[in-house]
Amino acid sequence: MSTSPASPPARLSIRSRLAVGVGRAVAGASRLVHFGTGSVIGGRASLLVDSNLLRKLTAHRDVVIVSATNGKTTTTRMLSAALETTGPVVSNSLGANMTPGIIAALGPTALTEPAVLEVDERWVGSVLDATGAQTLLLLNLSRDQLDRSQEVRKLAQHWKTAIGQALPGCVIANADDPLVVWAAVDAPDVTWVATGQDWTSDAAGCPACSGRIEFDRSSWHCTGCDLQRPTPDIVWDDSTITIDDRTIDLELGLPGRANRANAAFAIAAACRLGAQPEAAARAVETVTEVAGRYRVASLDGVSIRLLLAKNPAGWHEALEHLAPRPAPVIVAINARIADGHDPSWLWDVDFERLGGRFVVALGERRHDLAVRLRYADVEHVIAETLDEALLLVAGSPHHDPERAVDIAANYTAFQEYLDRVGGPE
């Protein structure tokens, strides 16, 4: 990754430098009063001073955008690790993935340093336009926060329009997600990555003709038009990834099928950007925790592991990560703004898979969860607090003190427990 030798010298105007300085000062003040990291409010303050700051901060960089409903934070982290094998890389690693958060991440860095940016699904068009990113990773689209997010087909249309207008030189897209394929198929250069897709419930209708998408074991096609799974360029198969006829073994530090898919995208993108496949794979293997997800810690003498799941597709993957039956599990659901106020998605998650283990329902919407578990015929109790939940699992018949108890939580519940746990041990 390099800037063209013909590029003008990388320098910010006085106004832009002032904007960066104001953002830093506001973020610092926000941190002082314990108002989070301050990155978003600092970025907003910067934009008030210079509304074109993102364009200026990225004018001399190679920029990669990573977007998806699920997996974008992890994939961004993995891709950063893989690209760091070729030199320094900047990323919005705190997960603030709209323009203010991105500005806050980029502001203090060298203006020519390549940037790997996690971008909210709804912001892909504006960030693509402002940054002129030449590389775009599109992982998946599924329902998320029913009362806040757009319907998935609208998001696919947004991506399709954004690609049509910006024409990024390299799109790396999921061959197994019909919505992503439809959005990316007209891009000038697409690398199709196949990792298998368990969750197909949000892609039953064709985004092109509203016909029915038919899935079989390893492929899919529309029964009403010619939209179909493209021939993949890069294939993930169990514990290997095949790129350019080279097969590389992978032993990831993160569990589950979804993280294998994230790794495949990260390695594919890193290779397109000049990293060596072996070096990229080894770097991706070193990622063991992303923003507290999968963190193992001890609370009240009980060993726990934190899992994050935010929407039906995310829960589908999270349930796969749980310690094997009959290990007990704590499931926590909130319904604040950041979670989406509408928890009716609980009925779209296959909680029947928790059968055969002791489940503690926790969080502000524990009673909604308990009703769902009752219909799923899953043995469960309700806990008012995390401490009570830990006491209940510690006293349950199949608790193994040598094994971490999984706490699967949605967004704000997860953040609350992560704060309680503190930094990595």
What lies within 8 Å, CB to CB, of 37 at 6+ separation is 27, 30, 31, 94, 96
90 touches Zn ion (CB under 5 A): no
Whole-number minimum distance, CB 174 to Zn ion, in Å? 18
3-state secondary structure labels for all residues of 198-249: CCCHHHCECCCCCCEEEECCCCEEECCCCCECCCCCEEEECCEEEECCEEEE
Whole-number minimum distance, CB 199 to Zn ion, in Å? 20
Whole-number minimum distance, CB 211 to Zn ion, in Å? 4
Give the residue, chosen from 102, 183, 206, 273, that forms a contact with Zn ion under the rule CB under 5 A: 206
For 393, the 3-state DSSP assignment is helix
Cβ proximity to Zn ion: between 216 and 245 the closer is 216
54 touches Zn ion (CB under 5 A): no
The interface mask with Zn ion, positions 381-410, x = CB under 5 A, is ------------------------------
Cβ proximity to Zn ion: between 170 and 222 the closer is 222
Give the residue, chosen from 222, 273, 299, 392, that forms a contact with Zn ion under the rule CB under 5 A: 222
Omega of the bond leading into 9 within 30 degrees of 0 (cis): no
Selected range binding Zn ion among 32-40, 196-204, 227-235, 339-347, rule: CB under 5 A:
227-235
Q: What does the alpha-carbon distance between residue 72 and residue 311 come to, in Å, rounded to a whole number?
A: 14
Q: Which residues of 25-63 are buried (b: 16+ CB within 10 A; e: fewer)?
A: ebbeebeeeeeeebbbbbbbbbbebbeebbebbbbbbbb
Give the residue, chosen from 110, 209, 337, 338, that forms a contact with Zn ion under the rule CB under 5 A: 209
How close are the terminal C-alpha atoms of the chain, in Å?
Answer: 35
Identify whether the C-beta of residue 312 lies closer than 8 Å to the C-beta of residue 142. Answer: yes
Cβ proximity to Zn ion: between 153 and 272 the closer is 153
Give the residue, chosen from 141, 184, 208, 335, that forms a contact with Zn ion under the rule CB under 5 A: 208
* Residue owning tokens 């419930």: 201
Selected range binding Zn ion among 143-151, 226-234, 253-261, 332-340, rule: CB under 5 A:
226-234
Whole-number minimum distance, CB 212 to Zn ion, in Å? 8
Selected range binding Zn ion among 211-219, 261-269, 328-336, 407-415, rule: CB under 5 A:
211-219
225 touches Zn ion (CB under 5 A): yes
Q: Nearest CA to 171 among 193, 187, 194, 195?
A: 187
Cβ proximity to Zn ion: between 212 and 398 the closer is 212
Q: Which residues are bridge partners to 228 per DSSP? A: 221
Q: CB-based burial of residue 244 (10 Å sphere; 0-12 exposed, 13-18 middle, 19+ buried)?
A: exposed
Whole-number minimum distance, CB 179 to Zn ion, in Å? 12
Cβ proximity to Zn ion: between 37 and 228 the closer is 228
273 touches Zn ion (CB under 5 A): no
227 touches Zn ion (CB under 5 A): yes
183, amino acid identity: A
Give the residue, chosen from 132, 205, 211, 326, that forms a contact with Zn ion under the rule CB under 5 A: 211
Whole-number minimum distance, CB 219 to Zn ion, in Å? 15
**DSSP, res 111:** T
Identify whether the C-beta of residue 268 lies closer than 8 Å to the C-beta of residue 248. Answer: no
224 touches Zn ion (CB under 5 A): yes
Cβ proximity to Zn ion: between 227 and 392 the closer is 227
139 touches Zn ion (CB under 5 A): no
Whole-number minimum distance, CB 224 to Zn ion, in Å? 4
Identify whether the C-beta of residue 229 lies closer than 8 Å to the C-beta of residue 176. Answer: yes
Q: How far is CA 321 from CA 111, 259, 271, 338, 395, in A?
A: 40, 10, 28, 23, 23
Residues of this chain that interact with Zn ion (CB under 5 A) are 206, 208-209, 211, 222, 224-225, 227
